[in-house]
Chains A and B, each alone.
Chain A
Amino acid sequence: MKREAPKSIADYSPLFFPGLMLIVFFVIPFSTMIAVSFFLRDPSGFYTPDFVFDNYARFLSVFFGRVLAFSLMLAVMVAICCVAIAFPFTFLLTKRPRKVQTIWLVCLLSVLSLSEVIIGFAWSTLFTRTAGITNLFVFLGLMKEPVALTPSFWAVLTGMVYQALPYTILVLYPALVRLDPQLLEAARTLGASPPRAFFNVVVPALRNTIVATLIMVFVFALGSYLLPQILGRPSHWTLSVLITDQAIYQSNMPFAAAMAVFLVLMSLALVGLTLLVGRKENAL
């Protein structure tokens, strides 16, 4: 069927609603934020409209550079851990009977109903010296005496992976369910052992899904600001924590906006780079 080019304004009408939503909920707030990032801060009040680069200049320091690098590194690690755990898990889940799959998915969905605060405090309790899991390890004879695992980088990472894992599985599940099981069987008849067939066939066949999932978890983890504060030291605080601090506690909207814009640009650049690398490999 050949589609005709739209002729009148009425032909564009299906675009009006999504266009309106995009303007109201994305273009206006984001432009406001960009505008604010160039405003001048008024220490006694809020801010005054202006066009200065002070906010961006202040950002270009070793301290903020380190926080930005840490935030990006943390988000990348969370994304990699989540996909590395969720992909084999979801693959094995799709091989189970339908009923078992449903039970697992319902349990995972129920984890999503937990708020970030509850997840954070639950893990911080689990990681304490007095009531934490190390007591269990001592009981099992794996450790000599209980230790506190929080605050630490690994506690932050664990908490964030725990939070993002259900999303990762739910994003991977449809693609893995649709994967033709005969692809794996074909690899086996051609001489590949089951683990080899998994890495030779399933992983490359779903490469685009994996890349998309990595980006999704990365973006998701980048916005996290509660868990680093609950489970980490100040050195493990992400840029999102600093943005919240500036915007709410220091009332420095222009600087918070500048940091937010910078964070968006950096993550867009990273996502773009990932897609570019993916395209190049595809072309080979």
Chain B
Amino acid sequence: MSGLVLKDIVKSFGNFTAVDTANLAVPHGKFVCLLGPSGCGKTTLLRMIAGLEDPTSGAIMLDDQDITPVPTHKRNLGMVFQSLALFPHLTVGDNIAYPLRIRGASRDEQKKRSDELLKLIHLPGFADRPVSKLSGGQRQRVAIARALALSPRLFLLDEPLSALDAKLREAMQVELRQLQQRLGITTFVVTHDQREAMTMADLVVVMGQGKILQAAPPIEIYRKPADAFVADFIGMTNLLDAETDRAGRVSVLGQAIPDLVMPAGFTKAAVSIRPEDVHLGPVGGDSIGGTVTFVRDLGGTIETFVEAGGKTIIAVATPRERPNVVAGQQVGITLPADACVVLKS
């Protein structure tokens, strides 16, 4: 298959397995986010794609060619590091032109390409400035331009936006995504920020404890998480125990949920439901009875915390559909069956 394929990649450091049998196929031109908590092996996986670490076993294929034994400097890739790793002794222009200089391009060619890239990252005329005189966001862009200088086959970024403040980070996410779409380059970004992944990715790869838990488009990850870990890691969710009674009906917190079907062979499972899918209404009927414990009104959204059967369920609503409840009030909770995802517990 054309594109990047990871085959049974394992990486161990002594007794510790950082990456455990990772399999992944990414077609050309996709934007992939490796997402997971710290220490889940996502950076190690990215470093193996870059050739900065050798896998203990397994193979990395690029366009059906095994690149596992190819050293980093012959892989033709661009990488942006967490510390950015701009060369402090070179100017902005020389930093960007460094990969061309390595390959013996003439001074004119170097100048032409670095000017071109500076225009691309909206910093024209910055070529002669020293790197130390740039702001955080500008350094970020220079690091991206340097990585793209040779139009690489793979574009790798290791938590590239973590050093920026929240506002700039959001703007850079959009900018990075637009840049990637314009260039059509296969891109891997390591991040622990699920918002970042949702903003940029075509494909989100959720990792936990060295394993790839789910690889799917962002909205699918959000709507149909593969397991409780993914459901909990991506966005806010309510994880509730579900049980099947003798009649075959599925019930959550003692209340039967009509139309909710448990997969064959499951007697116990967990149900994940997103806070925005939880409906609050009057007590009675088919609803689960609960007590409101706290209301957080954030202006744009209203989060209501309801305690029911020893569990706290979070419901999120927009001001338009304001539930109008106060702490201490008894409410009925309705869980729409089509919004519930049944997970093996």
Given A182-B82, A187-B98, A190-B98, check contact A205 B89 (CB 8 Å). yes
> What residues of B have a CB within 8 angstroms of the CB of A207 in the complex?
89
- B88 CB–A CB distance under 8 Å: yes
Binding site for A on B (CB under 8 A): 50, 52, 71-79, 81-83, 85, 87-90, 98-99, 102-103, 146-147, 149-150, 156
Question: Chain B interface: which of A74-82, A135-143, A191-199, A272-280?
Answer: A191-199
For the complex, what is the distance from the CA of A204 to the CA of B90, rounded to whole Å?
Answer: 9
A residues sitting closer than 8 Å to B (CB atoms) are: 180, 182-183, 185-194, 196-197, 200-201, 204-205, 207
- How far, in whole Å, are A180 and B88 apart by their CA atoms in the complex? 11
| B78 partner residues in chain A, CB cutoff 8 A | 189-190
**Residue on B with the closest CB to A188?**
B72
Evaluate contact between A182 and B73: CB separation under 8 angstroms: no
From known contacts A190-B146, A192-B73, infer whether A180 and B102 are also in contact, taking CB-CB under 8 Å.
Answer: no
CB distance from A175 to the nearest CB of B (A): 13
Instruction: Determine the distance from Cα of A207 to Cα of B88 in the docked complex, in whole angstroms.
Output: 11
Closest 8 CB pairs of A and B: A186-B85, A182-B85, A189-B79, A190-B99, A204-B89, A182-B81, A188-B72, A191-B102
Instruction: State the total of A-B contacts with C-beta under 8 angstroms.
Output: 67
Beyond known contacts A190-B99, A191-B103: 18 more, CB 8 A cutoff: A180-B83, A182-B85, A183-B87, A185-B50, A186-B85, A189-B50, A189-B72, A190-B78, A191-B74, A191-B102, A192-B102, A196-B102, A197-B73, A200-B102, A204-B87, A204-B90, A205-B87, A207-B89
Q: Measured between alpha carbons, how far is A164 from B76 in the docked complex, in Å?
A: 43
- Is B150's CB under 8 angstroms from A191's CB? yes
Q: Which of A180, A188, A191, A204 has the most CB of B within 10 A?
A: A191
Alpha-carbon distance between A196 and B90 when the two chains are bound, in angstroms:
16
Contact with B87, one of A185, A188, A191, A201 (Cβ below 8 angstroms): A201
Q: Please report the C-alpha to C-alpha distance between residue A185 and residue B77 in the assembled complex, in whole angstroms.
A: 12
Residues of B within 8 A of A190 (CB): 73, 78, 98-99, 102, 146-147, 149-150
Of the A-B pairs whose beta carbons lie under 8 Å apart in the complex, a sample of 19, sorted by A's number, is A180-B85, A183-B85, A185-B72, A187-B87, A187-B98, A188-B72, A189-B78, A189-B79, A190-B102, A190-B147, A191-B102, A193-B71, A193-B73, A194-B73, A197-B73, A200-B98, A204-B89, A205-B88, A207-B89
